[in-house]
Protein backbone atom coordinates (compact mmCIF):
# COMPACT_ATOMS: atom_id res chain seq x y z
CA UNK A 1 0.00 0.00 0.00
CA UNK A 2 2.76 2.34 1.00
CA UNK A 3 4.69 1.78 -2.19
CA UNK A 4 1.79 2.58 -4.52
CA UNK A 5 0.97 5.67 -2.46
CA UNK A 6 4.53 6.90 -2.84
CA UNK A 7 4.49 6.13 -6.52
CA UNK A 8 1.36 8.18 -6.91
CA UNK A 9 2.87 11.14 -5.13
CA UNK A 10 6.12 11.07 -7.10
CA UNK A 11 5.82 13.94 -9.62
CA UNK A 12 8.45 12.46 -11.94
CA UNK A 13 6.90 9.05 -12.29
CA UNK A 14 4.43 10.28 -14.91
CA UNK A 15 7.26 10.91 -17.36
CA UNK A 16 8.61 7.39 -17.15
CA UNK A 17 8.78 5.60 -20.47
CA UNK A 18 7.75 1.96 -20.27
CA UNK A 19 7.95 -0.67 -22.96
CA UNK A 20 4.68 -2.17 -24.04
CA UNK A 21 6.02 -4.29 -26.89
CA UNK A 22 9.66 -5.11 -27.46
CA UNK A 23 10.88 -4.21 -30.90
CA UNK A 24 14.51 -4.50 -31.96
CA UNK A 25 15.60 -3.59 -35.46
CA UNK A 26 19.27 -3.56 -36.44
CA UNK A 27 20.40 -3.46 -32.84
CA UNK A 28 18.22 -0.41 -32.13
CA UNK A 29 15.65 -0.59 -29.39
CA UNK A 30 12.52 0.65 -31.17
CA UNK A 31 10.10 -0.78 -28.62
CA UNK A 32 6.52 0.41 -28.65
CA UNK A 33 6.27 2.29 -25.36
CA UNK A 34 3.56 4.12 -23.43
CA UNK A 35 4.92 7.28 -25.08
CA UNK A 36 4.42 5.71 -28.51
CA UNK A 37 0.95 4.58 -27.50
CA UNK A 38 -0.23 8.06 -26.54
CA UNK A 39 1.40 9.47 -29.67
CA UNK A 40 -0.51 6.90 -31.71
CA UNK A 41 -3.69 7.79 -29.82
CA UNK A 42 -3.26 11.48 -30.65
CA UNK A 43 -2.57 10.79 -34.31
CA UNK A 44 -5.53 8.41 -34.50
CA UNK A 45 -7.85 10.95 -32.86
CA UNK A 46 -6.74 13.66 -35.29
CA UNK A 47 -7.25 11.42 -38.29
CA UNK A 48 -10.63 10.21 -37.05
CA UNK A 49 -11.89 13.67 -36.12
CA UNK A 50 -10.77 15.51 -39.24
CA UNK A 51 -11.28 12.47 -41.47
CA UNK A 52 -14.93 12.21 -40.41
CA UNK A 53 -15.47 15.91 -40.87
CA UNK A 54 -13.89 15.82 -44.32
CA UNK A 55 -15.65 12.65 -45.48
CA UNK A 56 -19.06 13.93 -44.48
CA UNK A 57 -18.26 17.27 -46.10
CA UNK A 58 -21.76 18.62 -45.79
CA UNK A 59 -22.59 22.02 -47.23
CA UNK A 60 -24.36 22.86 -44.00
CA UNK A 61 -21.87 21.45 -41.49
CA UNK A 62 -22.68 19.40 -38.43
CA UNK A 63 -21.28 20.48 -35.09
CA UNK A 64 -18.11 18.40 -35.31
CA UNK A 65 -17.55 19.34 -38.95
CA UNK A 66 -17.95 22.96 -37.94
CA UNK A 67 -15.26 22.58 -35.29
CA UNK A 68 -12.94 20.85 -37.78
CA UNK A 69 -13.49 23.68 -40.23
CA UNK A 70 -12.80 26.25 -37.53
CA UNK A 71 -9.51 24.42 -36.90
CA UNK A 72 -8.76 24.49 -40.61
CA UNK A 73 -9.53 28.20 -40.86
CA UNK A 74 -7.61 28.95 -37.69
CA UNK A 75 -4.40 27.35 -38.96
CA UNK A 76 -4.87 28.75 -42.46
CA UNK A 77 -5.26 32.27 -41.05
CA UNK A 78 -2.25 31.75 -38.83
CA UNK A 79 -0.08 30.66 -41.79
CA UNK A 80 -1.43 33.43 -44.03
CA UNK A 81 -0.91 36.05 -41.33
CA UNK A 82 2.66 35.09 -40.45
CA UNK A 83 4.02 33.86 -43.80
CA UNK A 84 1.71 35.38 -46.41
CA UNK A 85 -0.15 33.67 -49.26
CA UNK A 86 3.03 31.86 -50.35
CA UNK A 87 3.27 30.35 -46.90
CA UNK A 88 0.12 28.34 -47.63
CA UNK A 89 2.23 25.69 -49.37
CA UNK A 90 3.37 24.82 -45.84
CA UNK A 91 -0.19 24.81 -44.57
CA UNK A 92 -0.47 21.00 -44.34
CA UNK A 93 2.82 20.86 -42.45
CA UNK A 94 1.86 23.58 -39.96
CA UNK A 95 -1.59 22.02 -39.59
CA UNK A 96 -0.04 18.62 -38.82
CA UNK A 97 2.43 20.18 -36.41
CA UNK A 98 -0.17 22.27 -34.60
CA UNK A 99 -2.68 19.49 -34.10
CA UNK A 100 -0.01 16.92 -33.31
CA UNK A 101 1.25 19.11 -30.47
CA UNK A 102 -2.25 20.28 -29.49
CA UNK A 103 -3.64 16.76 -29.18
CA UNK A 104 -0.52 15.55 -27.37
CA UNK A 105 -0.84 18.40 -24.87
CA UNK A 106 -4.57 17.91 -24.41
CA UNK A 107 -4.31 14.15 -24.02
CA UNK A 108 -1.66 14.89 -21.41
CA UNK A 109 -4.27 16.79 -19.41
CA UNK A 110 -6.23 13.58 -18.86
CA UNK A 111 -5.21 12.08 -15.52
CA UNK A 112 -2.91 9.05 -15.85
CA UNK A 113 -2.29 9.82 -19.52
CA UNK A 114 1.25 10.26 -20.81
CA UNK A 115 2.24 13.63 -22.25
CA UNK A 116 4.35 12.93 -25.32
CA UNK A 117 5.41 16.57 -25.60
CA UNK A 118 6.89 16.48 -22.10
CA UNK A 119 9.92 14.71 -23.54
CA UNK A 120 12.74 16.84 -24.88
CA UNK A 121 13.65 14.28 -27.53
CA UNK A 122 10.20 14.69 -29.11
CA UNK A 123 10.08 18.48 -29.02
CA UNK A 124 13.70 18.70 -30.15
CA UNK A 125 12.99 16.42 -33.10
CA UNK A 126 10.01 18.56 -34.11
CA UNK A 127 12.02 21.78 -33.71
CA UNK A 128 14.88 20.34 -35.78
CA UNK A 129 12.39 19.28 -38.43
CA UNK A 130 11.06 22.85 -38.57
CA UNK A 131 14.47 24.49 -38.78
CA UNK A 132 15.68 21.93 -41.35
CA UNK A 133 12.72 22.75 -43.56
CA UNK A 134 13.46 26.47 -43.12
CA UNK A 135 17.12 26.04 -44.09
CA UNK A 136 16.53 23.61 -46.97
CA UNK A 137 13.61 25.52 -48.43
CA UNK A 138 15.35 28.86 -47.81
CA UNK A 139 18.37 27.84 -49.92
CA UNK A 140 16.23 26.00 -52.46
CA UNK A 141 14.05 29.03 -53.11
CA UNK A 142 16.50 31.92 -52.67
CA UNK A 143 19.88 30.33 -53.29
CA UNK A 144 22.64 32.26 -51.55
CA UNK A 145 20.30 35.21 -51.12
CA UNK A 146 18.95 33.27 -48.19
CA UNK A 147 22.06 34.42 -46.31
CA UNK A 148 20.64 37.95 -46.44
CA UNK A 149 18.62 36.76 -43.51
CA UNK A 150 21.74 37.23 -41.40
CA UNK A 151 22.46 40.72 -42.79
CA UNK A 152 19.29 42.77 -42.79
CA UNK A 153 19.60 45.68 -45.18
CA UNK A 154 19.51 49.31 -44.13
CA UNK A 155 22.14 49.35 -41.40
CA UNK A 156 25.38 51.37 -41.74
CA UNK A 157 28.21 48.94 -42.64
CA UNK A 158 30.21 48.91 -39.37
CA UNK A 159 27.08 47.72 -37.58
CA UNK A 160 27.18 44.50 -39.60
CA UNK A 161 30.21 43.26 -37.63
CA UNK A 162 27.90 43.20 -34.66
CA UNK A 163 24.63 42.47 -36.43
CA UNK A 164 25.62 39.38 -38.41
CA UNK A 165 26.89 37.34 -35.45
CA UNK A 166 23.81 38.31 -33.46
CA UNK A 167 21.53 37.24 -36.31
CA UNK A 168 23.38 33.95 -36.71
CA UNK A 169 23.21 33.22 -33.00
CA UNK A 170 19.54 34.13 -32.86
CA UNK A 171 18.84 31.91 -35.87
CA UNK A 172 20.47 28.87 -34.31
CA UNK A 173 18.88 29.61 -30.97
CA UNK A 174 15.48 29.19 -32.62
CA UNK A 175 15.28 25.38 -32.65
CA UNK A 176 16.69 25.29 -29.13
CA UNK A 177 14.13 27.69 -27.72
CA UNK A 178 11.37 26.13 -29.77
CA UNK A 179 12.12 22.70 -28.34
CA UNK A 180 12.82 23.85 -24.79
CA UNK A 181 9.77 26.09 -24.51
CA UNK A 182 7.31 23.32 -25.23
CA UNK A 183 9.21 20.69 -23.28
CA UNK A 184 9.72 22.87 -20.21
CA UNK A 185 6.14 24.10 -20.18
CA UNK A 186 4.70 20.63 -20.34
CA UNK A 187 7.18 19.18 -17.89
CA UNK A 188 6.85 21.94 -15.30
CA UNK A 189 3.09 22.12 -15.62
CA UNK A 190 2.62 18.42 -15.09
CA UNK A 191 5.04 18.35 -12.17
CA UNK A 192 3.09 21.17 -10.53
CA UNK A 193 -0.21 19.43 -11.15
CA UNK A 194 1.07 16.20 -9.70
CA UNK A 195 2.66 17.96 -6.71
CA UNK A 196 -0.49 19.76 -5.68
CA UNK A 197 -2.69 16.76 -6.30
CA UNK A 198 -0.24 14.67 -4.30
CA UNK A 199 -0.16 17.24 -1.49
CA UNK A 200 -3.93 17.26 -1.35
CA UNK A 201 -4.08 13.47 -1.26
CA UNK A 202 -1.41 13.22 1.43
CA UNK A 203 -2.93 15.95 3.57
CA UNK A 204 -6.42 14.52 3.30
CA UNK A 205 -4.93 11.14 4.16
CA UNK A 206 -3.30 12.63 7.25
CA UNK A 207 -6.51 14.40 8.19
CA UNK A 208 -8.37 11.15 7.83
CA UNK A 209 -5.83 9.48 10.08
CA UNK A 210 -6.52 12.01 12.86
CA UNK A 211 -4.73 15.30 12.12
CA UNK A 212 -7.98 17.12 11.37
CA UNK A 213 -6.30 20.53 11.13
CA UNK A 214 -4.43 19.40 8.05
CA UNK A 215 -7.66 19.03 6.09
CA UNK A 216 -7.81 22.85 5.73
CA UNK A 217 -4.34 22.87 4.17
CA UNK A 218 -5.36 19.91 2.05
CA UNK A 219 -8.35 21.83 0.82
CA UNK A 220 -6.04 24.71 -0.10
CA UNK A 221 -3.75 22.36 -2.02
CA UNK A 222 -6.78 20.85 -3.74
CA UNK A 223 -8.07 24.30 -4.76
CA UNK A 224 -4.59 25.12 -6.04
CA UNK A 225 -4.63 21.89 -8.04
CA UNK A 226 -7.98 22.82 -9.59
CA UNK A 227 -6.70 26.30 -10.50
CA UNK A 228 -3.51 24.79 -11.93
CA UNK A 229 -5.58 22.42 -14.03
CA UNK A 230 -7.34 25.37 -15.64
CA UNK A 231 -4.00 27.11 -16.15
CA UNK A 232 -2.43 24.00 -17.67
CA UNK A 233 -5.37 23.59 -20.03
CA UNK A 234 -4.66 27.11 -21.24
CA UNK A 235 -0.92 26.40 -21.46
CA UNK A 236 -1.57 23.20 -23.42
CA UNK A 237 -3.48 25.11 -26.07
CA UNK A 238 -1.23 28.14 -25.97
CA UNK A 239 2.03 26.21 -26.34
CA UNK A 240 0.69 24.35 -29.37
CA UNK A 241 -0.26 27.71 -30.83
CA UNK A 242 3.13 29.26 -29.98
CA UNK A 243 4.94 26.30 -31.55
CA UNK A 244 2.88 26.58 -34.73
CA UNK A 245 3.00 30.38 -35.05
CA UNK A 246 6.78 30.45 -34.51
CA UNK A 247 7.09 27.79 -37.20
CA UNK A 248 5.15 30.11 -39.49
CA UNK A 249 7.38 33.04 -38.58
CA UNK A 250 10.50 30.99 -39.33
CA UNK A 251 9.03 29.72 -42.59
CA UNK A 252 8.35 33.34 -43.49
CA UNK A 253 12.10 33.94 -43.25
CA UNK A 254 12.68 31.11 -45.72
CA UNK A 255 10.09 32.60 -48.07
CA UNK A 256 11.19 36.23 -47.72
CA UNK A 257 14.73 36.30 -46.30
CA UNK A 258 15.39 40.01 -46.85
CA UNK A 259 12.92 40.89 -44.07
Partner 1 sequence: MMFMTVAAEAAGGSAAFPPFETWHFPSQLFWLTLLFGVLYIALSRFILPKLGGVIEKRGDTIADALDEAARLNEEAKEAKKAQELHLAEARAKARETSDKARAKVDAEIAADTQKVDADLAERLADAEQRIQKVRSDALANVETIAADTTQAILSRFGVSVSEADAKAAVARATKN
User: Contact at 8 Å (CB) between 102 and 116?
Assistant: no
- The least CB distance from residue 243 to partner 1, in Å, is 13
- The least CB distance from residue 180 to partner 1, in Å, is 11
- The least CB distance from residue 61 to partner 1, in Å, is 8
Residue among 17 and 216 whose Cβ is closer to partner 1:
17
- The least CB distance from residue 258 to partner 1, in Å, is 29
How far is it, in rounded angstroms, from Cα 63 to Cα 245?
A: 26
Residue among 149 and 236 whose Cβ is closer to partner 1:
236
How far is it, in rounded angstroms, from Cα 83 to Cα 239?
A: 19
Alpha carbon 259 to its chain's center = 27
User: Contact at 8 Å (CB) between 175 and 128?
Assistant: yes
- The least CB distance from residue 57 to partner 1, in Å, is 4
Of residues 159, 157, 139, the one with CA closest to residue 149: 139
Sign of the CA dihedral running 49, 52, 55, 59 = negative
At how many degrees (to 10) do helices 63-83 and 34-56 cross?
100
Residue among 126 and 197 whose Cβ is closer to partner 1:
126
How far is it, in rounded angstroms, from Cα 29 to Cα 112?
A: 25
Alpha carbon 2 to its chain's center = 35
- Structural Rg of the chain based on CA atoms: 23
Residue among 94 and 149 whose Cβ is closer to partner 1:
94
- The least CB distance from residue 149 to partner 1, in Å, is 26
Residue among 120 and 224 whose Cβ is closer to partner 1:
120
Which residues contact partner 1 (rule: CB under 8 A)?
3, 6-7, 9-10, 12-13, 15-18, 23, 28-33, 35-36, 39-40, 43, 46-47, 50-51, 53-55, 57-59, 61, 65, 68-69, 72-73, 91-93, 95-96, 100, 118-122, 125-126, 129, 183, 187
At how many degrees (to 10) do helices 91-108 and 214-255 cross?
170
Residue among 97 and 149 whose Cβ is closer to partner 1:
97
Amino acid sequence: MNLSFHQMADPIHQFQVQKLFELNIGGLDLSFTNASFYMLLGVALIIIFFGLAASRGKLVPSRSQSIAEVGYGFVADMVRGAAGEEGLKFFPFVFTLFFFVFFANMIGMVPYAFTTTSHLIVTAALALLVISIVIVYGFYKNGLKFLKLFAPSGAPWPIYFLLVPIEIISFFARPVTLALRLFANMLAGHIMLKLFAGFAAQLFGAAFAGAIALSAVGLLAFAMGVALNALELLVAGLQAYVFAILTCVYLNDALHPSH
